[in-house]
Structure 1
Amino acid sequence: MRNQIEAIVQTLNGNPTFAYGTQAELNTLADDITFPCVFLYPLQSIEVSAQVNGSVDNTFSIYMEFLFKTDFGQFTAENEPHISQALQMANQFMVKASKYREGEGRYFRIKAGQKAKCVPVYNKFDVNTTGVGLTITLSTMYFDLI
């Protein structure tokens, strides 16, 4: 899953860097990473359900942050342009994830009407970053190849 998400991130405008890990790991990685960046946190539980057509749907929630480096001591209002840019990047990720193909079919399904939550993130990590955190539910489908 991480590899497919990273592949999508690499196609986003602004060429963000990608990193994956826990909060503590990402804080350490942020010290030497190039910004803008996208941080993916470890996947949570995955819901597995068999379908009538012989496939198995996997539905899972992910949390990722789209971040820009900011200067120490900047006020919230000064960071608003970064929030706007990060929100655009998160929106672009959602569109590209819904179109991402692996093999002959789409890898992810984002169902119409399914809501994702995006919240501003201010002055995070030791290096001071600002952006948005995106929580989204993605569905994947795997067919029985036996």
Structure 2
Amino acid sequence: MRNQIEAIVQTLNGQPAFAYGTQAELNTLADDITFPCVFLYPPQPIEVSPQVNGSVDNTFTVYMEFLFKTDFGQYTADNETYIAQAQQMANQFVVKASKYREGEGRYFRIKARQKAKCVPVYNKFDVNTTGVGLTITLSTMYFNIF
């Protein structure tokens, strides 16, 4: 799933870099990465739902941060432009994830009216970044049949 999310991120406007890992790993990676950047944290939780036809649905709760590098000492009001740009990137990600295809069909199912939560993120990591954090539930469209 990480590979599919990275593929979607690579199609976003602004061509953000992509990194995957835990909070500590991302803090280290942020020191040498190009911004803007999308940071993907490991999915928590993964819901496994057995179906009547012998398949299994997997639903992932994903947390991602869409971040821009900012200067130390900037006030919150100075960073609102970055928040707006990051929000646009997050919105674009949701739309592209719902249309992303692998093989013959869509990879993710994102239901209409399904809520995703987006919150501002200020002064994150040692390099000082600002943007938004997106929490979204993604259901995979490909099933394992046993």
Give the TM-score normalised by the residue count of structure 2: 0.95
Matched to 2:121, the amino acid is: V
What is the DSSP-based 3-state SS (H/G/I as helix, E as strand, rest coil) of the residue aligned with 2:134?
strand
Q: What is the rounded CA distance, in whole Å, between the counterparts of 2:89 and 2:65 in structure 1?
A: 10
Q: CA deviation at 1:49?
A: 1.4
Q: What is the rounded CA distance, in whole Å, between the counterparts of 1:8 and 1:134 in structure 2?
A: 15
Report if the CA contact (8 A) 2:55-2:145 is conserved.
no
Report if the CA contact (8 A) 1:54-1:143 is conserved.
no
Q: Deviations over 1:12-70 (max 9, x none)?
A: 00000000001111001001000000000011121111334554211110000000000
1:38 aligns with 2:38: yes
- Tell me the equivalent position of 1:84: 84
- Cα distance change of structure 1 residues 144 and 124 upon mapping to structure 2, 3 Å threshold: closer
Q: Which runs of 5+ in 1 are unaligned?
A: none
After TM superposition, list the pairs within 5 Å mapping 1:31-110 onto structure 2. 31-110=31-110
Identity between Structure 1 and Structure 2 (%): 88
Give the TM-score normalised by the residue count of structure 1: 0.95
Q: What is the rounded CA distance, in whole Å, between the counterparts of 1:52 and 1:111 in structure 2?
A: 21
1:12 aligns with 2:19: no
- Tell me the equivalent position of 1:123: 123
Q: Deviations over 1:89-108 (max 9, x none)?
A: 00000000000011101000
Q: What is the rounded CA distance, in whole Å, between the counterparts of 2:25 and 2:144 in structure 1?
A: 36
Matched to 1:138, the amino acid is: L
Q: How many residues align?
A: 146
- Tell me the equivalent position of 1:2: 2
